[in-house]
A and B are shown apart, each in its own frame.
Chain A
């Protein structure tokens, strides 16, 4: 458990350092991209659809998987769509 607290604190500091470097131009893609990353809850959600004691946890897991996958798929795709527009200077 204490290991997790260490990891949490260090990752937060790393996050502060990394995000401070992102220029305002990229703030919207940063948000949608980090949304996609927060879809990592899908890992917890998949663990919840393991067959266990109750059907209720499987049900929660099912909705959680669906929610998290919207985040993952929607987040990464829309971020890519945005960043494509920022791409190398076009002919115009």
Chain B
């Protein structure tokens, strides 16, 4: 059948597309490959499908495309984490709905007394994928939108603490397994199975909300990556339900991609996935509030800081989430150009978990036309801090906290950090000394070679810039 060849070509285009995404030079064409693959897949399914409800199809396509164009064009680069989060959620939601649609359609043919297994003589593996799709898709949907609102600054906290919270999650988890078992082999007839499916979806939605709710902002890169993976797994699972290879392959590719990113993020925080998901750090560390009284912190005016750049030949900028919040990427680029003109080499040190999603900082700086060759990964740039005249930390905190190297009692001990403290001078742009996320004290601010500029990242950089221009 022709449509099957179209599916095969689409699969190949997806794989080649992802291959080309591994180099900056070919990445854009890779994205085009994948979108052509998608177009062929849609043509294929229109050939495969029987009599379609064209009203529903065209309305759904137009509605989805219009929203897609709107958000793709209007979302600022600083809001990419939210957008990717929302897209993850919609992907999970779509998979759940596909499985539900298939289920209500197929079980409508069942006689009372027949169970899910009786559907086309389903095997166990096949029957299991139905509740798995509903569960993973549902968690992805509600969890992603929870993450979306958290990234938007909503600070909802979990109604339960400690053991009670884990208890609630465990009960919901057990409940979903029990209903799934009943759904596969207990519930009979169309109504019973559909009812069970509805329950699975409801519990999955609740689980998604409760699991993501307690996770703090700095852990968002892990959550977003994991939900990305879930959206792929849900897609692959829905492929098992409807028996379509293309869905299985594409879902598996996305699932694998999300898992790898999740691993990279966890490693960069020296934490296990379980530790992030159980949400320990944000809430348990508040006892250390006394530690956050700083001694001997030196603050400086933009004027004083500008003098430091006389004769400086090397500068490294360390961006963090504060850069995104203040939308300071263009100001950083201006400063970069000015310093380069004065003979000072400027580079950027990017910690893997800087920002709220993998690669967040790289996209922001690319938007401001900073050449990507100037952006260096942690391992590549760490040896260079020793020979660097000035480091400018813009809105980053935990990723430059030397306590991670030295203080065994620190909650972030062992996390790989950027060794900015080894530079000759460190300038930290920060609104105040208030310990950010997790309330961890940062001894960097007390070091003799560290100067604080207590301002919003953008205003601080602009002030520094105008002083440098005046000099």
Chain A interfacial positions (CB closer than 8 Å to B): 1, 3-5, 7-8, 11-16, 18-54, 56-90, 92
> Which of A46, A57, A62, A69 lies in contact with B49, CB distance below 8 A?
A46
A-side interface mostly: helix
Most chain-B Cβ atoms within 10 A of its Cβ — which of A35, A41, A88?
Answer: A41
Does the CB pair A73–B246 fall under 8 Å? Answer: no
Residues A86 and B65 in contact, CB atoms below 8 Å apart: no
Q: How far does the alpha carbon of A84 sit from the alpha carbon of B27 in the complex, in Å?
A: 9
CB distance from B45 to the nearest CB of A (A): 4
Query: Which chain B residue lies CB-closest to A17?
Result: B256
Q: Is B311 an interface residue (CB 8 A)?
A: no
Count contacts on B: residues with CB < 8 A to the other chain: 118
Query: A81: nearest residue on chain B (CB-CB)?
Result: B72
Residue B48 interfacial (CB < 8 Å): yes
In contact, B72 and A27 (Cβ under 8 angstroms): no
Q: A24-B350, A68-B94, A78-B71 are in contact. Are A43 and B50 (CB under 8 A)?
A: no
Enumerate chain B residues within 8 angstroms of A66, measured Cβ to Cβ: 59-61, 63-64, 67
A63 and B90 alpha carbons, distance in the complex (Å):
10
B90 touches A70 (CB 8 A): yes
Residues in B lying within 8 Å of A, measured CB to CB: 7, 10, 14-15, 17-19, 21-22, 24-25, 27-28, 30-32, 34-35, 38, 41-42, 44-46, 48-53, 56-57, 59-61, 63-65, 67-69, 71-73, 75, 77, 80, 83-84, 87-88, 90-91, 93-95, 97-98, 100-102, 104-105, 108-109, 123, 125-126, 224-225, 228, 231-232, 235-236, 238-261, 264, 333, 337, 350, 352, 357-360, 362-363, 366-367, 369, 371-373, 375, 377
**Interface pair B104/A47, CB less than 8 Å apart:** no
Known A42-B42, A46-B57, A51-B53; contact A82-B366, beta-carbon cutoff 8 A:
yes
Contact between chains at A71 and B90 (CB < 8 Å): yes
Ordered by A's residue number, 23 sampled pairs between the chains whose C-beta atoms are within 8 Å are A3-B245, A16-B256, A21-B22, A24-B377, A26-B27, A29-B21, A29-B31, A30-B358, A32-B83, A35-B254, A40-B41, A40-B250, A42-B41, A48-B98, A52-B105, A62-B53, A66-B61, A67-B90, A68-B91, A70-B64, A80-B28, A85-B366, A86-B24
Shortest CB-to-CB span from A6 to chain B, Å, is 10
A7 and B95 contact, CB distance less than 8 A: no
Chain B residues whose C-beta falls within 8 Å of the C-beta of A3 in the assembled complex: 245
Are B231 and A36 closer than 8 Å at their CB atoms?
A: no
Q: How far is the CA of A82 from the CA of B235 in the complex (A)?
A: 25
Establish whether residues B34 and A33, one from each chain, have CB atoms under 8 Å apart when the complex forms.
yes
Per the bound structure, the CA–CA distance linking A47 and B258 in Å amounts to: 27
